[in-house]
Amino acid sequence: MTPERPSVPEAPAPVCYRHPGRETHVRCTRCDRPICPECMREAAVGHQCVECVAEGRRSVRRPRTVLGAPARAGARPVVTYTLIGLCVLAYLGELATDRVFDELAMIGLYRFDGGATIGVAEGEWYRLLSSMFLHQPPDGGSFWITHILFNMYALWALGPQLEQVLGRGRFLALYLLSGLGGSVLAYLLAPGTPVVGASGAIFGLFGAYFVIARRLGTPPGPIVFLLVLNLVITFSVPGISWQGHVGGLVTGTVLAAAYAYAPARHRQAVQIAATAAVLVLLVVLTAVKTTELV
């Protein structure tokens, strides 16, 4: 008579590590933990759990441009469109009332007949920035409308490309500091002359485009022709603030060079330091000129 074999208890069915009440026979191909259908994520081979998928995403380095900006193929140039919108809104304000021009235009120091004074030297430092969003008003001459049209076209043509390769933060810093550089040079050399326009910032984009084109090995011929043409117009047409144009061009070119040629190992630190250094220099020059005028 054959003795009966002792019965072996069946092993309990595995349960999902995140949902203990759900039985499952599928395991994560990365950590081998049981996962239910809700926790499954398709992988190249089999399925992975939620935590392993998240960890894998963190370990993957996002592609970046040569200048260190996140590579966003097809991304909308949000900063460019926002700057254009602000300039258009400011111009509509100029058309509605003269106070917009009078209170926001860049002027270093102006004395009225009664003895009252206005300007940056009187503490209205915001004029250095607000003026780059204004443009020549209708009573400013026969070419008033071309002022904003040309600047907005140049911003629309150059802005998206520079914003993509620089990244939104660097592009915005370059634009604003170029415009500020133009205002500061106008403040230093012609403090009594009202100055408005995005031209300083636009010339900064011209200089940046040239530097970045050289850095990427792109022929800079077209931008050089456009830059030379605009410089000729700047110095040949009366009523144009050449100080604003040159100040923006120099600032944009210097800052773009720091962005484009920063060493890869310390790229972000060098770019931040360059941005801060340019800002500090412009602030110091403004403070020195203010002390002289006051």
Three-state SS annotation for 23-56: ECCCECCCCCCECCHHHCEECCCCEECHHHHHHH
Q: Answer yes or no: are the C-beta atoms of 210 and 227 closer than 8 Å.
A: yes
Catalytic residue list contains 245: yes
Q: Is 289 helix (H, G, I), strand (E, B) or coil?
A: helix
Q: Give the Cβ contact number of residue 80 at 10 Å.
A: 24
Nearest-CA neighbor of 245 among 292, 201, 191, 210? Answer: 201
Q: Which of 130, 178, 199, 241 is catalytic?
A: 199
Q: Is 118 helix (H, G, I), strand (E, B) or coil?
A: strand
Q: What's CA 149's distance to the chain center, in Å?
A: 22
Torsions phi, psi of 124, nearest 5? -90, 60
Catalytic residue list contains 19: no
Torsions phi, psi of 34, nearest 5? -65, 140
Q: Answer yes or no: are the C-beta atoms of 203 and 245 closer than 8 Å.
A: yes
Q: Is 60 helix (H, G, I), strand (E, B) or coil?
A: coil
Q: Is 142 exposed, middle or buried (0-12, 13-18, 19+ CB in 10 A)?
A: exposed
Distance CA 14, CA 22 (A): 8
Active site residue ranges: 199, 245
